[in-house]
Amino acid sequence: MEGTGADGGRGRAGGEPGRTEMAALLGDNAEDLYENAPCGYLSTRLDGRIVKINGTLLKWLGMRREEVVGHKRFSDLLTVGGRLYHETHFAPLLTMQGEVSGVALDLVAADRGVLPVLATSVVRTGTDGEPLLIRTTLLDARDRRAYERELLRARREAEHERVRLQRLATTLQRSLLPPVLVSVPGLDVAAHYHIASSDEVGGDFYDLFPLASGSWGFFLGDVRGKGAEAAAVASLARYTLRAAAVYDRDPARVLGALNSVLIDGENVDEEPRFCTAIFGRLAPEGEDRGFRVALASGGHPPAVLMRSDGSADFLPTPGGQLVGVLRDADFTGTVVHLGLGDTLLLYTDGLPEAHTATGDGRYGDEALLEFTRALAPTSAPAAIEALTALLDSLGQGLDDDTALLALSVPAVPAPEPAAGRPGSREP
């Protein structure tokens, strides 16, 4: 319902202002709009001396008009750092451009409190184009500054958490690998672990350990996925293989034991736990005659045998199915003689599946075989050194962790070492 107000304007019964009242509110009083604007206004001479200031800014500063106008310069209202920035950057830029917009400064109030503001200044000129004064608008930036501080704090906390997780991942990765590779009389051994990402722990694992009757067991594997779950499966696989090898001499049955553990221990609500693995047992064949190596593979890339005559080929390991997928998985083994000057190389699929800028985009099995043929004949330490350089050269193309394990019989038999030999790895 509408009615006519006392001032002749039409107003609503709900109390809305009439036309005359609305006109007043909309800015008939320009001085009131200036004085009580939601931002600070001030005008200064070219030397910075304040000649006009609005009530909003005076309220922020807690100062009286008579102690500011004609007595203070704009720079006098700033902190020490703000005055320095004003003299060296703000004022020169304003002189050159005629306008400076959105610069963060800090004002000092009468109670010595600091008020963050965003300052925009414009040089006003006369009809002849000569500069006359500077008009400055100041926006209260306390909320924005608080937001920026909170954002910076959150960023620092996130960075701290990222570093903490990286350290945790590195520590966890180290726990999955042997601190040293045991010394095997008459055999050179070397290993390397290349981490593709410092933020996530991988599921690659390897080991070399003594067994009864003068033999040794060794294995290398790769768990599906990354992260804590993959690390847990890798740890389970490592200790299961070591335990199973104590009771069974057949590498294929050792992998079968791991297969049963992974399947029986799987929670139906979780992702399937499986891995690829290659397990071997080696035993000396007599003085200066090398080693007999029995191998079995569970879906793992075939090992490479580099012979003393300069040849290199993949070892056939037929029937190797993934470990932890089928209850009746088939793991068929093979036996090979590792003679003087021969080197056996085991690796995970991060190397052949690395991305390259040429060919089909993958490094591939053939490239690896060509690389190892160029190395042969070689030793375990030399092979690992060359392959480590190759991994480093692939850069960002290597997006999966890669484990390497090499065993070689010296061409000239060396005396039995007195202590263990550390592996060359980078967890």
Domains, the chain, with CATH or none: 36-140 (3.30.450.20), 176-408 (3.60.40.10)
For the record, the structure tokens of 47 come out as: 């030397």
φ/ψ (deg, to 5) at 148: -65, -40
Beta strands in 324-387 (DSSP E): 333-338, 343-347
Q: What is the pLDDT of residue 230?
A: 80
pLDDT digits (tens), the chain, 427 positions: 444 544 544 555 555 556 666 555 555 577 888 888 899 999 999 999 999 999 999 999 999 999 999 999 999 999 999 899 999 999 999 999 999 998 889 999 999 889 999 999 999 988 888 888 999 999 988 887 777 778 788 788 777 776 666 666 665 556 666 767 889 999 999 999 888 766 666 778 999 999 987 899 999 999 988 777 888 888 889 889 999 999 999 999 999 999 999 988 755 446 677 899 999 999 998 777 899 999 999 999 999 999 999 999 999 886 678 999 898 888 988 999 999 999 999 999 888 888 876 655 778 889 899 999 999 999 999 999 999 999 888 877 777 888 999 999 998 755 555 544 444 444 4
Which residues are registered as beta bridge partners of 12?
Answer: 2
Q: Which two tokens stand for residue 49?
A: 């001396």
Token duo for residue 385: 């050194």
- State the Cα–Cα distance between residues 119 and 91, nearest whole angstrom: 12
Q: Classify residue 13 by burial, with Cβ atoms within 10 Å: 0-12, 13-18, 19+.
A: exposed
Question: Quick one: which of 403, 282, 274 has its CA closest to 346?
Answer: 403
* C-alpha pair distances (Å), 289 with each of 89, 283, 286, 303: 81, 11, 5, 21
